[in-house]
Amino acid sequence: MRKLLTITSAALMAMGALVYSAPSGWAATNLIANPSLETAANATTPASWQSGAWGTNATTFSYLSTGHSGTRSVKVQTTSYTDGDAKWYFAPVTVTPNATYTFSDYYQATVSTRLVVQFTTTGNGTSYVELAPAPATTGSTWGQTTQTVTAPANAQSATVFHLLDKVGTLTIDDASLTSATTPPPPTELVPNPSVEVASAGQPADWASGAWGGNTATFSYLTTGHTGSRSVKATLSNYTSGDAKWYFTPVTVTPGLSYTFSDWYKSDVGTELIAQFTRPDGSLYYQSMAAVAVSSAWTQVTSSVSIPSDVNKLTVFHVLAANGSLTLDDASLTVASGIPANPIPNPSVESASGSVPVSWSTGSWGSNTAAFSYIADGHTGGHSVKVTVSNYTDGDAKWIHQPQPLVPNKQYRFTAWYKTNTQPHVVAQFDHADGTAAYLTLPLPLPAADAATTWQKYSDTFTVPGNAVAVSVFVLLSGNGWVQTDDYGFEQYTPTGFSRPLVSLTFDDGYEDNVTSALPLLQARNFKTTQCFITGNIEGVPGGPENVMAFANTGHEICSHTVTHPFLTTLSAAQLANEATHSQQYLQQLTGQAVPNIASPYGDYDTTVLNQLKLSYRSHRTVDVGYNSKDNFDLSRVRVQNVDLTTTVAEFNSWLDQAEATNTWLVLVYHRIVPAGQGADGDYDTNQAAFASQLDALRDSGLTVKTYNAALDELVPQL
């Protein structure tokens, strides 16, 4: 099974930040009545506001006599929590369909909180849009969250729930909902961008800094790209670290994209690095672009998306080698939301010597990897290639610079490739603490002419809530070569069905499940799909009885092969036997059709899929995702994998996502561990956790169907 793995990576750097108060922006009409909560409806409630809670929790609501501005605010406190949420929210206001709005509020929170926009739609219906979460604040510090949302085509009014869904407290004040079509903030965010204004012999609102083993000198020059001033950093005796000039950090909005540029001259390669500041003052860093040598004034431009836990930004143009770097005319402006493609140099056309700018290579394990920058591309005149020989283990890949994407949002990744082997696609999610998690995306399926004809790979993923940057690799984990070009990210919204559905599937046919899972399922009237390894049943005492315990109580029976092998390693005859004999045996045993199969370990390729299509209606993978109209593939049904680490919050987030998008959520379980016994593997689920998950599913009100019954409902909608 594919799953997320966590590793530790080295911290980039640490450096203090100066304090800067950004100039105030344009005034925009606030649609919220009583936004600062100063006007009271009564002693316990502000005018034009109300509170609400649902689920199993103990919550109190307070109308306080202190605030961020003025003398009032509202507070929600949850002291015990099983499920549901609690929130204060303003009276719904009229909105324009397809218009974009900016919401913000100031808040204090002891835990991370969620923001959900509720739209009232034509016919008095409702729809919901989940925004990026707001991180916890420190002590009495007020944080601010600012986010944008586009009203659906049938929207009539909206309100925003800043909600609490765990034990903790949340206080809010100074809420704002404005049309994004009102005049934007000042275009230029960099103070003193051309460094013309001096203060005490230095450029005002700029600072210099160096760290590591080197000798750094900083100069404020009387010549410039425009005007009469510029700044210069020079390094000698270099062994480590860097040196840079940088502007005072400026206030930015989470979820938006910003475009940075400056004009520079350098005699060595340099780099752009974003420094993010959280509301609590802590810092972290993101590489934006590698910058080529230039003896004449040259402009470099790159974009950066602001993570949900960030409120300030500066950009370091760093020197990290013996040489010099001169800067002038810096610029930071708001782009229109997330750029169409935030990956820098996505078509690898810009070069720094013999490698593309903003790209690097990586390999590990026992193999021989060779990396090439090719004068041939899907578009333009370049692409990148990796060739692996002498393979024993590990992988090799080209790597684009990680990019901040909006947490909890779905994105589509696209790349074009040529290959003579089977590549894999893996997403890396970087965390603020220096760790990273990895997710294997659905397998590319190269055509027969893939060695000579460009192939398109395109699939989707959800950015985890704790990810600060994302990169996706097209990698090799075997001998051969793959050539890639035209990488891209774009935000993705699935095309839903008429309603959301949930299916529970179980792999391997563990005998414990008859006693540990079946009674819990029957008590809630949930029917599931049980995928059996027939080699563990046929001729085994008690094996057939375990199958029939589920078959006789209305559960679907599914094939999981005969011996649970890696199907891609088998001969044609072995593959055919694994697929057909398991189906034939289960059908003979149960007297029921067995139209679906789940591949062991989620291991498949084109050859495997072609064989399975001969006998089965569909093939269920362990590829992570949700099934929607636009990505539906009977040969590769997507799932969410439940294991020992799955929390109730994560489980509920899957249900919420399916409900919000009208998609089909397929859950994969293995062994349900009886109470009082220990787990045997990572893919087990403890019985108590399983019961809690079933209760959450029941309480969600979502429709639960067997896997095949769900197909019967969904396939006609395609």
Q: What is the mean pLDDT of residues 531-536?
A: 96
Give percent of the chain with pLDDT exceeding 90: 71
Give, as one character, the DSSP assignment of residue 319. B
Amino acid at 138: T
Average model confidence (pLDDT) across the chain? 89
First to last CA, the chain: 29
- pLDDT given for residue 352 in this prediction: 74
Residue environment code for 3-40, b if the CB has 16+ CB neighbours within 10 A, otherwise e: ebeeeeeeeebeeebeeeeeeeeeebeebbebbbbeee
pLDDT value at residue 349? 87
Question: How many Cβ atoms are within 10 Å of 677's Cβ, its own excluded?
Answer: 13
Nearest in space to 618 (alpha carbons), one of 530, 715, 499: 715
CA–CA distances in Å: residue 612 to residues 445, 448, 547: 15, 19, 22
Confidence of residue 529 (pLDDT cuts 50, 70, 90): very high
Q: What is the spatial distance between Cα 620 and Cα 707, in angstroms, rounded to a whole number?
A: 9
Mean pLDDT over residues 676-680, rounded? 81
Please give the Cα distance from 633 to 149 (Å, whole number): 30
How large is the average pLDDT for residues 191-208?
Answer: 94
Least confident of 179-193, 237-251, 344-358, 619-633: 179-193
- Is the pLDDT score of 182 beyond 60? no
Amino acid of residue 283:
L
Does residue 553 surpass a pLDDT of 60?
yes
Examine the pLDDT at 19 and tell me if it is beyond 50: no
Neighbours of 446 (CB within 10 A): 21
Instruction: Confirm if 355 and 291 have CB atoms less than 8 A apart.
Output: no
pLDDT of residue 140: 85
Non-local (6+) Cβ contacts of 235 within 8 A are 210, 214, 215, 216, 243, 319, 320, 321, 322, 323, 324
Beta bridge partners of 121: 125, 155
Q: What number is the average pLDDT over the span 194-218?
A: 95
Q: Mind spelling out the 3-state secondary structure of 423-454?
A: CEEEEEEEECCCEEEEEECCCCCCCCCCCCCC
d(CA 155, CA 153): 6
pLDDT of residue 255: 66
Q: In whole angstroms, what is the distance from residue 536 CA to residue 532 CA? A: 8
How far is residue 161's CA from residue 88's CA, in Å, rounded to a whole number? 7
**pLDDT, position 350:** 82
- Comparison of pLDDT for 221 and 126, the residue scoring more: 221
> Is a pLDDT exceeding 50 seen at residue 587?
yes
Number of Cα atoms under 13 Å in the Cβ half of residue 181: 7
Return the pLDDT at 253. Answer: 80
Q: Which helix (H) or strand (E) holds 76?
A: strand 73-81
Q: pLDDT tens digit string along 417-441?
A: 999 999 999 999 998 888 999 999 9
Among 6-20, 184-198, 402-416, 690-704, the minimum mean pLDDT is found in: 6-20
Least confident span in 213-227, 290-304, 553-567? 290-304
Residue 265 CB contacts under 8 Å (≥ 6 apart), including other chains: 294, 295, 296, 297, 298, 325, 326
Q: Do the beta carbons of residue 335 and residue 187 sit within 8 Å?
A: no
- Please determine, for residue 576, whether its predicted confidence score (pLDDT) is greater than 90: yes
Per-residue pLDDT, 680: 79
Instruction: Answer with the residue of higher pLDDT: 451 or 353.
Output: 451
| pLDDT band, residue 181 (cuts 50/70/90) | low
215-227 pLDDT, tens digit each: 999 999 999 999 9
pLDDT tens-digit map of 343-393: 888 999 888 778 888 899 999 999 999 999 999 999 888 999 999 999 999
Structure tokens at 141: 């510090």
Q: Token pair for residue 79?
A: 């002291």
Mean local confidence (pLDDT), 98-113: 90
Query: Using CA atoms, how far apart are residues 562 and 580, in angstroms rounded to an integer?
Result: 9
pLDDT at residue 10 greater than cutoff 50? no
DSSP character string of 89-156: EEPPEE--TT-EEEEEEEEEESS-BEEEEEEEETTTEEEEEE---BPPP-TTPPEEEEEEEE--TTEE
For the entire predicted model, the pTM comes to 0.62
Write down the H helix ranges in 246-378.
none
**Across residues 612-639, what is the average pLDDT?**
96
User: Is pLDDT above 70 for 628?
Assistant: yes
Residue 3 has pLDDT above 60, yes or no: no
Q: Would you report the helix, strand and coil content of the chain in percent, each value rounded to 5?
A: 15, 45, 45
**pLDDT band, very low/low/confident/very high, at 15 (cuts 50, 70, 90):** very low
Is 520:512 a contact under the CB 8 Å cutoff?
no
Confidence of residue 11 (pLDDT cuts 50, 70, 90): very low
Cα distance between residue 167 and residue 183, in whole Å: 40
Nearest to 551 by CA among 581, 593, 515, 510: 593
pLDDT greater than 80 at residue 609: yes
